[in-house]
Amino acid sequence: MSCFAMDNYLALENTIKQKALSGNEEALDDLGFLKKAVLSFAHYIYIVTEEQIETRLAKGVKSGDEYREISSHFDSTRHNAHESAIVNAKMLNRIASAYGIAQIFNGDSSNRQEIGDFCGEITSWFFGNRYS
- Check whether 18 has a pLDDT greater than 90: yes
- Give me the mean pLDDT over the 4-12 stretch: 97
| Domain count across the chain | 1
pTM of the model: 0.93
**C-alpha–C-alpha distance, residues 42 and 68, integer Å:** 26
User: Given this model, what pLDDT does residue 67 score?
Assistant: 85
Taking only the tens place, the pLDDT of each residue in 23-51 is 999 999 999 999 999 999 999 999 999 99
Residues shown for the chain: 132
In a domain, 1, yes or no: no
User: Given this model, what pLDDT does residue 1 score?
Assistant: 78
User: Given this model, what pLDDT does residue 46 score?
Assistant: 98
In a domain, 132, yes or no: no
For residue 21, the enclosing domain spans 6-127
pLDDT band for position 59 (50/70/90)?
Answer: confident
Mean pLDDT for the chain? 95
- Give me the mean pLDDT over the 84-90 stretch: 98
User: Given this model, what pLDDT does residue 131 score?
Assistant: 87
Dihedral angle sign, alpha carbons of residues 79, 73, 42, 58: negative
CATH code assigned at 72:
1.10.287
Taking only the tens place, the pLDDT of each residue in 106-126 is 999 999 999 999 999 999 999
- Check whether 95 has a pLDDT greater than 90: yes
| Angle made by CA atoms 51, 85, 30, in degrees to the nearest 5 | 140
